[in-house]
Amino acid sequence: EAFYSYDVTSSDNCPFTQVGIVSHPIDFNTGQAGIMFDLVNLSGESITVTQFGPSLDAGSWPMEVYFTHTATTWFGNDQDPGAWVKAGSFTAVSSSPAVGTPIPGFGITIPANSSVGIYLTSTTGAPINFTTGSRQVSDGVMRVSSNPGAGQIYPFAGTIVNRSYNGFVRYSTTFGQAPTQISGIPSGEGFPIGVTTNVFQCVDNSGNTATCSFTVTVFEYGNPTQSLKCNDIITVALDEGCTGQIGADDALEGGPYGCYDNYEVRIDRTLPLGNGPWEAPTLFASDV
């Protein structure tokens, strides 16, 4: 057999863009200049944040939006300005403390099955409202997690842990379904001598299906020698279970030979050596 690795991808000529919103309750009992929380991508596709909607006190506020550029969470990075990238700034006029005020998402992208820390803050005052405690809300595609979250004194001057975001987060994502193998041998596995046909199927968001296939051909070594020449000395390293195997590739030298799987190896443990009985080529600590 031969081991072979491959990649199969699919794309849709009419990609389907899904938009979503995850809303935390607006039930604030305290507030500060900023709020830190995490966004978790639960899907197999990247997510783009299109809008934040925090609860803001009445008035006009100079807002800034930050995200962690290498870390996957705000936690532990709340006092490290170098862990954050400023995505953008926006002057937000509060819609009302009782509803979320739209703020651009500035194209923040969350890779598939990953997460990012978010910091929303005003450069003046303490207009962002939040709730004491921890919680998280998910729509199955994205999780907005204040578990924990934190209030923040601008810019990175102090952290008040266990504070929950109040408001919404909007996002968009383009969904596609990974191909499913319906016959053949998976990537990285052993392919036998001969022809193996791999068949894959993909399904779009409307339920339309398409299949594709390819073949993997494994040739036996051409014109192998019919005579055998064995090594005089074979070194066998026992594994953690104190056993070791002698294969044809260990026993034979010279060649060229055919597929080693076609050769049977047996050993003689009983004196005088060379006349059997012939046993399976498994060695134990007692053979040392």
The DSSP secondary-structure symbol of 252 reads B
pLDDT at 176: 64
Place of tokens 């006009």: 60
- The partner residues of 230 in beta bridges, in order of sequence, read 252
Separation of CA 20 from chain center = 22
- CATH: 2.60.120.820, 3.20.20.80, 1.10.3720.10, 3.30.43.10. Which one for 16-175? 2.60.120.820
Both tokens assigned to 76: 């532990």
97-123 tens-digit pLDDT: 999 999 999 999 999 999 999 999 999
Report the range out of 55-59, 203-207, 223-227 with the highest average pLDDT.
Answer: 55-59
Q: How confident is the model at residue 263 (pLDDT cuts 50, 70, 90)?
A: confident
In whole angstroms, what is the distance from residue 221 CA to residue 235 CA? Answer: 26
> Under a CB-based contact definition with an 8 Å cutoff, are residues 94 and 102 in contact?
no
Find out whether the peptide bond into 104 is cis, omega within 30 degrees of 0: no
> Rounded to two decimals, what is the model's pTM?
0.62
Integer Cα distance of 4 and 263 in angstroms: 22
Distance, CA of 230 to CA of 213 (rounded, Å): 42
**What does the pLDDT look like over 68-80, one tens digit per residue?**
999 999 999 999 9
- Alpha-carbon gap, residue 58 to 93, rounded angstroms: 8
pLDDT at 287: 78
Residues 2-45 pLDDT 10s? 889 999 888 777 766 789 999 999 999 999 999 999 999 999 88
Q: Alpha helix (H) ranges present in 191-285? A: 248-251
- How far apart are alpha carbons 273 and 271 in whole angstroms? 5
Q: What residues have CB less than 8 Å from 197, skipping those under 6 apart?
A: 183, 184, 213, 214, 215
